Structure 1
Amino acid sequence: MEYDPEQIELLIQKVAFTHGSRLEDLFYQQKNILENHLNQLMIDHQGEAESITPEEIEGAYEIATIHVGHPSNFYGMESDCEELVGVTHRR
């Protein structure tokens, strides 16, 4: 489906307003998932970005980050893994 450039610009503004700097930390896979869900929202709303709610945009973001995990979830992961290995070996 091809969209009106004005509607694309409006969607970009809505996504930027809703997520701000959180978009910068997404992995490549997460960006693809988010883009696919935003495209589906545009299809569902018949190309009218105005009718897409911030909640729908947030939902698309959550799906993208829950599916792959948000980068901030991986900071300090090594120490968590060491703790898990220690627990496993103690059994």
Structure 2
Amino acid sequence: MSSLVDHRASVQGAVTAIEAEVGVRVCRGAVLVRLESMKMEFTVEAQADGVVRAVHVQRGDAVDEGDVLVDLAPLADAAPQAAAPAPRA
């Protein structure tokens, strides 16, 4: 079973952009969410290589410091699920 890593808001503010998409592989340092607080932009970056498992906010949402924004499965735990074989004709 994989262990998800929470990515939380470091400040109270508004979500200005969502860069993360569920199911997409990201590298450590990739920007997942952009926040605005006190007319400054803050970014929430991936803490490790992994796969985005959930995005809990939308553009325009108000968030408080500590709110969970994105869940990431570390790459070691994020083995892609095998796709179903294509039907044969």
TM-score by length of 1: 0.29
Bigger CA radius of gyration: 1
By percentage of residues, which structure has more helix?
Answer: 1
TM-score by length of 2: 0.30
Q: Which has the higher strand share?
A: 2
